[in-house]
Amino acid sequence: MSERDTSGPGGRQGAEEVGGLEASALQLAAQVRSGARSAVSVVEDHLAGIAAGDGEIHAFNHVMEEEALAAASRVDERLAAGEDPGPLAGVPVALKDNLCTRGVPTTCSSRILEGWLPPYDATVVARLAASGAIAIGKANLDEFAMGSSTEHSAFGPTRNPHDTGRVPGGSSGGSAAAVAAGFAPLGLGSDTGGSVRLPAAYCGVVGMKPTYGAVSRYGLIAFASSLDQIGPFGRTVADAAALLEVVAGHDPLDSTSIDAPAPAVSAVLDAGVEGLRIGLVTELSGEGTDPDVRRRVAAAAEALEAAGAKVEDVSVPATTLGLSAYYLIAPAEASSNLARYDGVRYGLRVDAPTNGGMNVASRTAGFGDEVKRRIMLGTYALSAGYYDAYYGKAQQVRTLIIRDFAAAYERFDLLLSPTAPTTAFPFGAKTADPLSMYLTDVCTIPSNLAGDPAISVPYGLGDDGMPIGVQLLGPALSEPTLFRAAAVLEHSMAPTGDGGPAAGRERTT
């Protein structure tokens, strides 16, 4: 496999090179449901692709070969009996390894959970099975979803399929890389500060963070409970829309779940953007954003204008404070959530003469450096004498961000920005400087703090030949509008992936 091949839409490496399939998820499901292909053959082909290519990419911590083939056989049996197995019949899906999967190792890429077998399925996993989709493996991630590059995994990094010397983004890097490499047409990740959208941008696939509460978090191993949200990956906007419809909707097992049905997004993909008002967020495209990224966002803005939308610059001032607020709120919630890993109830246990010593020894051996860093930051922010000065202030900033977004959405239906300030960076480029790593999330974090949905759409290549993603942001429950605009951007791309109608030109306002 070559280090980088920019052929195909968005520069995605040809799937034949890694043994995957070019067919979209919806095409595969249609073939299986019509009897043109068996679900078993689809899974076998993808397993062969993983066996041939994942040694280099390391998208998966665990490949569910036996379970996937058994599930595919059940789909074929239902079809033979005249039943409809569901809208995603036979379609392989890569599951981020923080989604509980009954009887299958679920580790969060941490030594402290190595070998743990959950006794139940996450709601999204159960809904996938009910749709006929096939969970094909547990995808690598930054440990406990804390990272932006998938370099902070206890089991080794995931590599970007477009250039194996570069990161795939994080924390859902394994899921994004699996979809980009053709190992699975679909993937599920979790997005706490951009962990679906950032790797989607770096790997040249579609990645979406739904409205907080639109997708059940039951069975998602928590990082920061007020920020976490499960979202879909797909090679096309339509595939991501179909996956969202399957996993979204009310769940009584999640107290934060919105009591509403799954959003109907697939039906509106051809509705276009005529008459929509879209704001280009000036704070998210300024200093620190590479010129080639700004050019691609400008091209996306012109494509939306050409399709009938009205695009204007907009200021959302409090987004500049998002990074600071996030790195107090998220570590504080992580400090609380990760207290359960004590060496007693489950996971790694390192014996010591006393219970306290055992607890310290287990956590010292089980957690990696980045997780320890965030636990300490969060514990400090929540400690007596500092709570009001740090955590309390961060929550006030969060309120400002929510208000500033609400003000922007009074004028605009959607907002537009880069997904990331740069393209994917080389391994090791940021690990020695945590702040520079955290800055990669500057464009994505505000949506998590506000609880609003956002989607990253691949939109051409940077000067280095790596994918660039543009981000569409919307108010709560605006998923149908987001997918309408995302489909317009996808359709505006030239066949070579080199851009829309104004590729490479700076947009003037």
Residues 108/347, Cβ–Cβ less than 8 Å: no
Crossing angle, helix 322-337 and helix 369-382, to 10 degrees?
A: 100
Beta carbons within 8 Å of 3's beta carbon, 6+ residues apart:
163, 164, 165
Active site residue 285: no
Active site residue 195: yes
How far, in Å, are 67, 137, 167, 318, 503 from residue 322 at the CA level? 41, 34, 24, 7, 30
Write down the catalytic residue from 24, 96, 149, 153: 96
As beta bridge partners, residue 221 has none
Burial 47-80 (b: 16+ CB within 10 A, else e): bebbeebbeebbbbbbbbeebbbebbeebbebbe
Write down the catalytic residue from 171, 172, 216, 257: 171
- Can you tell me whether residue 138 is helix, strand or coil? strand
Residues 266/270/273/278 CA torsion (nearest 10 deg): 30
User: Across the chain, which distance is largest between two alpha carbons, in Å?
Assistant: 70
DSSP for residue 255: T
Residues 208/453, Cβ–Cβ less than 8 Å: yes
Write down the catalytic residue from 109, 195, 362, 447: 195
Q: Which of 428, 406, 408 is nearest to 416 (CA)?
A: 408
Active site residue 171: yes
Residues 110/144, Cβ–Cβ less than 8 Å: yes
ω into residue 110 within 30 of 0, thus cis? Answer: no
Residues catalogued as catalytic: 96, 171, 195
